[in-house]
Amino acid sequence: MRLYMKNKKILWILVVFVILIVGATVLYQNLSKYYAEQEEENEIKQQVSITPTPESENSSNNTSEPSITETPEPTMHPAIDFSMQDIDGNSVSLSDYYGKPIVLNFWASWCGPCKGEMPEFNKVYLDLKDDVNFLMVDLVDGSRETIKKGSKFIEDNGYEFPVFFDVDQEGAYYYSVYAIPSTIIIDKDGNIVNYHQGAISESVLRKELDALLGE
């Protein structure tokens, strides 16, 4: 009887030991996967600091005060050329506007932060339109945002800056725009010098354009 109890006790110890080993293995695998995903996410964040990287759609549709994210320092990466449609239905390219600094802004009429920054963009445009090309690009998906909706929004608010439509989502694709507003500042030679995620103020916009115009 004592031998039986002793063997039973040993058996239970072995079972508990095996359970602990299996649990530790599963925990190690999960932690390894977690840290691998975190490392990959960090690499992506470092990469998109060069090109536009917006937030999720939910945060872009939030009408609360948006945060501003800027690249740590100016970059000199060539802007990617893409085609868009102007207000008259003509196809134009980003490169058509090289020769002057460019404000490339991606927006939509349903986006709260986009609507919030537009009066200031329009004000700066009226002051600098002879020296800076403003490309206010409406991200058209054919349902939530259409050319008709975007055009009506601009007309109703009396904005005078040039409006374009990314009907094929070409610009959104090349610049990895997954949230709006996103603003890219481009120099006269077609190089990206700064990127802003979220709405930006008039003072920030003026400061960066003044720096380019003073070169």
pLDDT digits 0-9 by tens, 46-93: 333 323 333 334 434 444 444 445 545 544 799 999 999 999 999 999
Q: Domain check: are 5 and 62 in the same one?
A: no
Please name the residues in contact with 23: beta carbons below 8 A apart, sequence gap of 6 or more.
none
| pLDDT < 70 positions in the chain | 1-9, 11-12, 15-16, 18, 20, 22-75, 215
φ/ψ of 82, rounded to 5, equals: -155, 165
Q: What is the pTM of this model?
A: 0.65
Which uninterrupted H or E stretch holds 198? Answer: none
Separation of alpha carbons 79 and 135, rounded Å: 14
Q: Domain check: are 42 and 98 in the same one?
A: no
Q: Domain check: are 63 and 42 in the same one?
A: no
Q: Domain check: are 43 and 87 in the same one?
A: no
**Residue 184: CATH number of its domain:** 3.40.30.10
Separation of alpha carbons 120 and 128, rounded Å: 12
Q: Domain check: are 72 and 137 in the same one?
A: yes
Per the structure, how many domains does the chain have? 2
Q: Domain check: are 39 and 65 in the same one?
A: no
List the Cα angle 44/48/50 in 5-degree steps.
140
- Domain with 13 in it: 1-48
